[in-house]
Structure 1
Amino acid sequence: MLHLAFVSMILCAPPPLVAPTEALSPAGEAAGFRLPPGFEAQLVAAEPDISKPMNLAWDDRGRLWVTDTLEYPYPAKEGTKPRDTVRVLSDFDPVTGKARKVSTFADGLNIPIGLLPLPSGKTTRCLVYHINRVLLLEDTDGDGRADRRETLLEGYGTADTHGMTNSFTWGHDGTVHATHGFANDSKVRDRNGVVLAMQSGHTYRFNVDGTGLELWTRGQVNPFGMARDDSGNLFTADCHSRPLYSLIRGSSYPSFGKPHDGLGFGPEMCPHDHGSTGIAGCCWIPAGFWNVKDPEQLIIGNVVTSRVNRDDVQWKGASPRAVELPDLVASDDLWFRPVDMKLGPDGAMYVADFYNRIIGHYEVPLTHPGRDRHRGRIWRIAPKGMDRAIPDLGTNATAEALAARLGDRNPAVATLALNQLASRG
């Protein structure tokens, strides 16, 4: 009996936080992916074109934006130019899915995480978090590089570089929702002088002009990943508490050392933990999207087990419950670290792979020589043979064409069309 218990313990043991294997080429890594029947994984970008991807976002011109770091886990020292960037991927090969163009929209950034391209217009603009503020970056002369920077929000704590603000997500009302992570003490000030104090896990929102800053929910430990469904419900992925939460405005959620008062405590959504305390990225998929039999799903990255997990979202009245589904991706390569995922306007799932021997921030010394600084990949996961067309939802699209997309079955398309229409006044 003791022998069986020991064997069971070994078989159920979590993967090591320091992978005992060596790095693989992108092709070697892809060979170890296990996907649902009929799905394929294609490489969109890899080193040296990108380094360590963190957050992904699509714009209305069909381009994929990515925050990219060399600095993590240590911020650039004062007086030195940071090496991190915002990159833009475009011109995707219709057969292989690879981005044939990778450009740098902005450099000199310091561990940028949260990212959101704004609707296209006379200039190209995006929001990005950069220690210790949220910037508006703008390309005013059309050369593809930001030449103007404006601070919208400032005062973020930076003690924990894996718990900084991230996952900028459009609300139905055009506000931007975001998460705030573990061990950071922030007193964020907006352009009207409003100050929001946050310590460890919280969510909040603000207007794209840097006003209207306000708290959305309290608690969670280190949320990294946010998604919105077509009814406007918001969900987050959290580390060290539960993998998924349904966000109810004004509610409180479990956190370290923060007992709640019994009032306004958000209900549990996900009773299981997917075998890990390290969850990153969150994406909502409507029912029947890839297959008519598929349920409504939330997809999250599991950086410890090297998997992309799925949950069936089952509703009882206004309360969702997450029921575990088979994984979207399971990898034989322990360096596979899926930290963000976004549904593309072509209907494929795009996964940011922070490819690394080590994933623990606190669990493994930051000085460990095994920490990789230069390898990173972005993967396209989709059913084989799926239509790859990416609609143009930017300034060239007519109002009639955009209006026709507001009910698109792809929520990424519907959101981009709505935002472009709204930007025209």
Structure 2
Amino acid sequence: MIRKGIIILSVLTLAACGKKEYQDEIYERPEIVRDPPIDFLSPEESMKTFYLPKGYRVELVASEPMIHEPVAIAWDGNGRMYVAEMNTYMQNVDGDGTDEPISKVRRLEDVDGDGKMDKSTVFIDSLVLPRMILPLDDRVIINETYSYDLWSYRDTDNDGVADEKVNIFSNPNRRGGNLEHQQSGLIWNLDNWLYVTTLPLRFRFTDGAIEVDTLDNTPGGQWGLTQDDTGTMFFSTAGGENPAFGFQQPAVYGHVNLEGRLADGFIEPWPVVGTPDVQGGAERRLREEGTLNHFTGVAGQEIFRGHRLPPAAYGDLFIPEPVGRLVRRAKVMNENGKKVLYNAYDKREFLASTDLNFRPVQAKTGPDGCLYIVDMYRGIIQESAWTREGSHIRPVIIRKGLDKNIGKGRIYRIVHEGITPDETPHLLDKTPHELLDYLGHPNGWYRNTAQKLIILKKDQSVVPALKEIALDNEPFWSQFFGDKDYALERVHALWTLEGLGVIDKALLIKKYDDPDSRVRMAAIRLSEEFLKQGDPEMLPLLNRFLSDEDINVVNQLALTLRYSPGVEATQLLNALLKQFENHEVIATSVRESLKKDDSELQILKQQLAGRGRGDKNRVLKGYDIYKQLCATCHGKDLMGVKNGENSLIAPPLVGSPRVTGDKDPLIRILLHGLSGPVDGKEYSGVMLPMGNNDNAWIASVLSYVRHLNDTTLVGNREVRDIREKYKDRDGYWTMPELME
């Protein structure tokens, strides 16, 4: 609903010709109600509380009783929506019954084509908090909380219920830690690998089996993962007050987090309602008016790649913030090779609500070209680790009765006046040759889905046509009319060939001269296979990109050269460094590529060479745990992660007296958590209790941290003894208690 009192603000958009301004009419912020009521509203009533820019409106797609507690959505090739429901999530203030296997994945269908779902079936039942959904062809891949396993489900008799279940990736270990810190995503990337957050793993389908690849230095992230047209992914860390990071380069090249990636003031949200239920306390997270002053629960971000909103929205990053009851719209600006995020509006958000139960947890580009928002619609959004006795938020939950608001959920789509959404797609029954037509579709959902389906069908007869598209697909008149992006069609054709196992060196060399920089970047990346094999022809040919007119292409060269082990690649990297030593992005890429023979994990193994097998295994296991979980707040170098300003999310662990001193307080912190000031300084994060993990898990991660501080390791028995000594402890430790 659009409010009265429209004002006009100028925002920036990313265009092929550089920075471009456009006008967008935005709402006046209402008078803020500091401590509003928490009553349930019907979907229609709740939609009336939404503030949106002029021309945009929200339409209801599905709501209770059709769905309950939705957290993630995805569509198959025929536009059927799969919805992951966490039916046991925070059903009371203590989170009792969270692990019960009663959650579901539903399949929703729009039978009459009006954009609203008419049919709901329980596709899979008896799940433990499903968190990842990836439709393939007629199969759907699912991952559950506390598990690493990936299961393929199929409905063989077309009744909407899965009757075939096949394990495609198995890890017998239970996934430890808080459920909010576990993996999410599972997106089919442009490079044909499946990526997730947190885990240093990626997957792909090869000859009907799942292939697993380990990654040394992934960005990490928490809930939410998305990609842009070049396959670069955007991560976030939710409670770490880090709304977006890891988006400077494709994740396979590792984690680079450049200073200034967020514009001044970007981490400050602008809700239209007071935020009484904020973890960390009012002093830390609220303005005088009672609204959230830092992102704290960002989740399910999405690069919008649809075509049924105004063109200026294409490529924007939409960031749901369920604690603030809002969705941020960020402009992704490429400034001399560095991507920088700006709020699209001055002290406003794209979508904000005064309904305290509005909990947006995911944004998605739909097959119809519109933007979808998943609203978990509930009272408590924080997991039980944050609502324990002694937390700031527990008294607020009890006072306002937030724990009573459960069991509902809504899915909305955002449309724009004068733009009609597309009809339901029908891709699953199309032949690979018919799917080729969609590789240049103006909606990124179609391009990615067509690429995926062609690869899964494994039909080599389309290879000549794909090569023809990649080579020369653009008629002379295309520049004058039409909404097809011919360059992106060439990009997808190249990567589809890769997915089919065809990397044609002669074709790549021709594409080095493609007029579009995105195609040249794809050709350079695809050349990495030849570099790994030591092909002597490739390096001299790649030398031309030292002087490419597009700085992003030069940076891609710097990233790609790490895959050539020879001295010639090192010489080329040094030439790049000399030429671009003052260019932040390229210099960073070159320095990282020069480490190609000396990875972080290899260094750690060398350091442990003199230790016994038990110590080695404990520290290496701790390394894996730390990279997956702890680095989110404490940093990969143990020096703490900046929250976008000058402060840190969590204390540094290098030289900390809690780390280097007596093991007792350190073990207690990990078992029960820590709140309050540390050494007289407040931090935005809170150290969560990790006591639900076993003694070996605790000992391993502490041993890794202490090893990097050059002190003794922690043994399983030491953890066991401290756990037993304080078995009746319920609640976080504080520094005064530990010092006693």
Range of TM-score over shorter length: 0.7 to 0.9
TM-score normalised according to structure 1 size: 0.79
Which of 79, 90, 107 is the aligned partner of 1:88?
Answer: 107
Which of 361, 373, 389 is the aligned partner of 1:339?
Answer: 361
1:325 Cα deviation from its structure 2 partner = 1.1
Q: 1:26 to 1:215 in 2, by over 3 A?
A: same
Which of 434, 437, 450 is the aligned partner of 1:417?
Answer: 450
Once the two structures are superposed, the pairs formed by residues 153-172 of structure 1 within 5 Å of their partners are: 153-154=170-171, 155-172=173-190
1:393 Cα deviation from its structure 2 partner = 4.4
> C-alpha separation between the residues in 1 aligned to 2:202 and 2:373?
25
Once the two structures are superposed, the pairs formed by residues 28-177 of structure 1 within 5 Å of their partners are: 28-73=45-90, 74=95, 82-91=101-110, 93-95=112-114, 97-120=115-138, 124-132=139-147, 133-151=149-167, 152-154=169-171, 155-177=173-195
Asked if the contact 1:115–1:166 (Cα under 8 Å) also holds between the matched residues in 2, the reply is: no
1:51 Cα deviation from its structure 2 partner = 0.7
Greater relative CO, 1 or 2 (CA 8 Å, sep 6+): 1
> C-alpha separation between the residues in 2 aligned to 1:12 and 1:58?
39
Equivalent position SS for 1:403 = helix
Q: 1:314 to 1:210 in 2, by over 3 A?
A: same
Once the two structures are superposed, the pairs formed by residues 19-418 of structure 1 within 5 Å of their partners are: 20-73=37-90, 74=95, 82-91=101-110, 93-95=112-114, 97-120=115-138, 124-132=139-147, 133-151=149-167, 152-154=169-171, 155-180=173-198, 204-208=201-205, 209-215=209-215, 217-218=217-218, 223-239=222-238, 240-247=240-247, 248=249, 249=251, 269-271=261-263, 272-273=266-267, 274=269, 275-286=294-305, 290-294=309-313, 296-326=315-345, 327-361=349-383, 362-365=385-388, 370-371=402-403, 372-390=405-423, 392-418=425-451
Deviation sequence 1:45-87 (CA, Å, 0-9, x none): 1111111111111111111111012111458588x6x110111
Deviation sequence 1:104-142 (CA, Å, 0-9, x none): 11000001111111123xxx3333334313322222333
Q: 1:301 to 1:343 in 2, by over 3 A?
A: same
CA RMSD across the alignment: 2.9
> C-alpha separation between the residues in 2 aligned to 1:269 and 1:175?
26
Question: Quick check: which one's strand share is greater?
Answer: 1
Matched with 2:3 is: none
Asked if the contact 1:94–1:388 (Cα under 8 Å) also holds between the matched residues in 2, the reply is: no
> C-alpha separation between the residues in 2 aligned to 1:15 and 1:161?
30
> C-alpha separation between the residues in 2 aligned to 1:48 and 1:346?
24
Equivalent position SS for 1:36 = coil
Deviation sequence 1:6-36 (CA, Å, 0-9, x none): xxxxx999977xx742111111101111112
Asked if the contact 1:55–1:166 (Cα under 8 Å) also holds between the matched residues in 2, the reply is: no
Question: Quick check: which one's helix share is greater?
Answer: 2
Q: 1:375 to 1:406 in 2, by over 3 A?
A: same
> C-alpha separation between the residues in 2 aligned to 1:163 and 1:13?
32
Matched with 2:622 is: none
> C-alpha separation between the residues in 1 aligned to 2:363 and 2:170?
25
Equivalent position SS for 2:131 = coil
How many residues are aligned here? 375
Tell which structure's C-alpha radius of gyration is larger.
2
Equivalent position SS for 2:195 = strand
Moved more, 264-273 or 128-137: 264-273
Give 5+ residue unaligned stretches, structure 2. 1-29, 270-293, 389-393, 459-740
> C-alpha separation between the residues in 2 aligned to 1:349 and 1:242?
23
Moved more, 326-335 or 54-63: 326-335
Asked if the contact 2:73–2:83 (Cα under 8 Å) also holds between the matched residues in 1, the reply is: yes
Deviation sequence 1:328-364 (CA, Å, 0-9, x none): 3111112111101110010111111011122222443
Q: 1:56 to 1:268 in 2, by over 3 A?
A: farther
> C-alpha separation between the residues in 1 aligned to 2:336 and 2:141?
37
Asked if the contact 1:128–1:136 (Cα under 8 Å) also holds between the matched residues in 2, the reply is: no
1:162 Cα deviation from its structure 2 partner = 2.1
Match for 2:417: what amino acid? K
Asked if the contact 1:177–1:205 (Cα under 8 Å) also holds between the matched residues in 2, the reply is: yes
Q: Identity, % of aligned pairs?
A: 26
Matched with 1:257 is: none
Match for 1:175: what amino acid? W
TM-score normalised according to structure 2 size: 0.47
Equivalent position SS for 2:350 = strand
Q: 1:165 to 1:342 in 2, by over 3 A?
A: same
> C-alpha separation between the residues in 1 aligned to 2:242 and 2:421?
35
> C-alpha separation between the residues in 1 aligned to 2:325 and 2:136?
32
> C-alpha separation between the residues in 1 aligned to 2:156 and 2:82?
18
Matched with 1:258 is: none
Asked if the contact 1:112–1:131 (Cα under 8 Å) also holds between the matched residues in 2, the reply is: no
Q: 1:50 to 1:245 in 2, by over 3 A?
A: same
> C-alpha separation between the residues in 1 aligned to 2:164 and 2:187?
23
Equivalent position SS for 1:339 = strand
